[in-house]
């Protein structure tokens, strides 16, 4: 059996109008989509007798429509959308007349483990003495404790009500085998008398309803605690989210409202402990507001993209996934290794060839560029969320215009984010040079303060973009590439800027500090 490629099953009455060949073709389309045809009748006969008007050219099919998505108040409408989409694809007259959700949710039967009974004490014979009764009660209590600890388990298992589990445990599975003298012990609290049984998917849906509100409330409090303005708004959002999570947790199981709310409170306390307090170092506010927002956006993106991709068929993968993955790999691996460095060099009025960056750092910059896709993927993640909750009407085939716009949005967004990141790094380097402090590194580019000492007369020292003055101050060495040392002169007039000198005609001695006096600095020249 193949793995089920659907979440919901909806019984649907589909009326197909047209000649008999259209009825046969509709049946074939249903089977091709994996929708079982359970029965069919002429319109106005069978279950539709007296309900629908009799038509000679119409047949009503009882079809089980199967598809992905959540189980909510719009699931029946979502089934009708699927049939209407099939009608457009097959060019047939199909009309959805009735839908009914199939409830395949399994009851969570109580679980029991089979135990032996040979260890249990026998009641004292009549007449009973006080010593015999006390001894019997002590042995019975001891046996009950040992049974609860699993000391006398046989390794067998049974499920059902207490009486069913006991009878099943004593039933011989092999023909002719005698009945076993065993008993059962519960492994959970579902076997309590008078309590209705919970259902598996019912509890899962309950958890998925309150968990996002719980996470939103906890992360919003991080922002509210450190917000400089509008903190009241964030506190109100946090309080509303936590209250919604608490109320929804009470409906996680209709028979265990108190337990659901208690679980919500415990989960909220644990999450607050993790995100608000770094208990290892003893400092508060382990997450900053930016980190909290990034964490929430990342979780939203991962969940939404998963809900979107899991609904794709092989056709969707070939139409959407393969070209998109191919374009990302080509642009990311082949080109992005120098994109960030090119933007960084442009921010310093340099050429990308002026930055001698190792291949490992180029690969790291490629990963950085690809990480910007996380923000771009917020749009398809939201699309996946809405599609899973049946808020978007599905269409058969691919939307070429939407696909093209999506690729353009990726290219433009990633390009703008990359340019902004590199421009910020270049501006930080300029500010460090102006303030004479250590400059930050940027993916293998390590600017450092250096004393530059010419080894040839000044008239034989060519420069490009500036002039090397005889000064006691150090220069900020950006890199050495193509035989040239790229220097940044923060005190050049009228405008500070970068210039290049041949590396074989100067000595480059690392300065102990940005404000050191190069006339008294002793050190070993750097060899290039």
- Model confidence pLDDT, tens digit, residues 235-257: 888 888 888 888 888 777 766 67
Give the range with max mean pLDDT: 160-169, 374-383, 387-396. Answer: 160-169
pLDDT of 42 above 90? yes
Distance CA 87, CA 97 (A): 14
494-515, pLDDT tens digit by residue? 667 788 888 888 888 888 888 8
**Residues near 263 by Cβ (< 8 Å), separated by ≥ 6?**
249, 252
pTM of the predicted model over 0.85: no
Distance CA 214, CA 267 (A): 8
Dihedral of the alpha carbons of 442, 509, 519, 457, in degrees to the nearest 10: -110
| E strand or H helix at 67 | strand 58-67
Instruction: Tell me phi and psi for residue 74, to 5 degrees.
Output: -105, 10
- Where helices occur in 349-473 by DSSP H, the ranges are 359-371, 373-376, 378-388, 400-435
103-159, pLDDT tens digit by residue? 877 777 888 899 998 888 888 877 778 888 888 889 888 888 888 888 888 888 888
Task: Answer for the pair 30, 37: CB distance below 8 angstroms, yes or no.
Answer: yes
DSSP 46: G
437-478, pLDDT tens digit by residue? 888 888 778 888 888 888 887 777 887 777 777 667 888 888
Distance CA 69, CA 388 (A): 4
The pLDDT, as a whole number, for residue 344 is: 79
Mean pLDDT in residue range 360-364: 68
What Å distances lie between residue 432 and 41, 78, 164, 268, 451, CA to CA? 82, 59, 78, 44, 17
Distance CA 498, CA 488 (A): 4
Entry field: residues in the chain: 528
Homologous superfamily assigned to 8-101: ACT domain (3.30.70.260)
Distance CA 106, CA 506 (A): 80
The pLDDT, as a whole number, for residue 369 is: 64
Distance CA 423, CA 342 (A): 10
Three-state SS string across 301-333, please?
HHHHHHHHHCCCCHHHHHHHHHHHHHHHHHHHH
């Amino acid at each position: 059996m193949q793995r089920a490629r659907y979440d919901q099953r909806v019984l649907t009455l589909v009326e197909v109008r047209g000649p008999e060949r259209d009825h046969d073709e509709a049946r074939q389309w249903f089977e091709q989509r994996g929708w079982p045809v359970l029965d069919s009748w002429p319109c106005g006969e069978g279950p539709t007798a007296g309900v629908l008007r009799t038509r000679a050219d119409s047949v009503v099919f009882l079809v089980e429509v199967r598809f992905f998505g959540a189980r909510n108040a719009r699931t029946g409408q979502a089934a009708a959308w699927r049939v209407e989409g099939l009608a457009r694809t097959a060019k047939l007259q199909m009309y959805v007349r009735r839908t009914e959700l199939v409830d395949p949710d399994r009851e969570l039967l109580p679980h029991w483990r089979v135990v032996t009974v040979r260890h249990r004490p026998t009641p004292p014979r009549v007449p009973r003495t006080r010593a015999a009764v006390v001894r019997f009660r002590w042995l019975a209590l001891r046996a009950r404790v040992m049974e609860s600890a699993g000391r006398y388990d046989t390794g067998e298992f049974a499920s059902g009500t207490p009486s069913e589990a006991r009878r099943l445990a004593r039933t011989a599975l092999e023909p002719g085998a005698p009945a076993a003298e065993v008993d059962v012990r519960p492994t959970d609290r579902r076997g309590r008398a008078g309590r209705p049984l919970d259902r598996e998917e019912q509890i899962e849906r309950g958890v998925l309803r309150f968990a996002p509100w719980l996470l939103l409330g906890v992360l919003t409090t991080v922002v509210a605690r450190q917000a400089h303005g509008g903190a009241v708004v964030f506190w109100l959002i946090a309080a509303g989210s936590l209250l919604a999570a608490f109320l929804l947790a009470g409906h996680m199981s209709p028979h265990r409202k108190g337990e659901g709310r208690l679980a919500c409170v415990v989960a909220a306390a644990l999450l607050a402990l993790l995100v608000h307090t770094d208990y290892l170092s003893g400092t508060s506010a382990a997450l900053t507001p930016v980190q909290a927002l990034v964490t929430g956006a990342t979780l939203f993106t991962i969940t939404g993209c998963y809900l979107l991709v899991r609904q794709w068929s092989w056709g969707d993968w070939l139409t959407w996934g393969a070209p998109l993955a191919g374009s990302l790999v080509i642009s990311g691996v082949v080109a992005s290794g120098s994109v960030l460095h090119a933007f960084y060099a442009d921010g310093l009025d340099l050429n990308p060839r002026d930055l001698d960056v190792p291949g490992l750092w180029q690969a790291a910059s490629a990963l950085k560029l690809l990480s910007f896709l996380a923000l771009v993927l917020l749009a398809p993640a939201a699309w996946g969320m809405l599609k899973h909750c049946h808020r978007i009407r599905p269409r058969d085939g691919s939307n070429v215009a939407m696909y093209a716009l999506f690729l353009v949005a990726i290219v433009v967004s990633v390009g703008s984010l990359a340019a902004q990141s590199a421009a910020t790094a270049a501006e930080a380097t300029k500010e460090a040079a102006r303030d004479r402090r250590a400059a930050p590194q940027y993916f293998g580019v390590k600017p450092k303060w250096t004393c530059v000492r010419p080894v040839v007369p000044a008239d034989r020292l060519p420069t490009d973009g500036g002039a090397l003055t005889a000064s006691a101050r150090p220069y900020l060495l950006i890199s050495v590439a193509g035989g040239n040392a790229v220097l940044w002169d923060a005190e050049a007039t009228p405008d500070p800027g970068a210039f290049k000198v041949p590396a074989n005609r100067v000595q480059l001695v690392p300065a102990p500090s940005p404000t050191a006096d190069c006339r008294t600095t002793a050190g070993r020249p750097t060899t290039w």
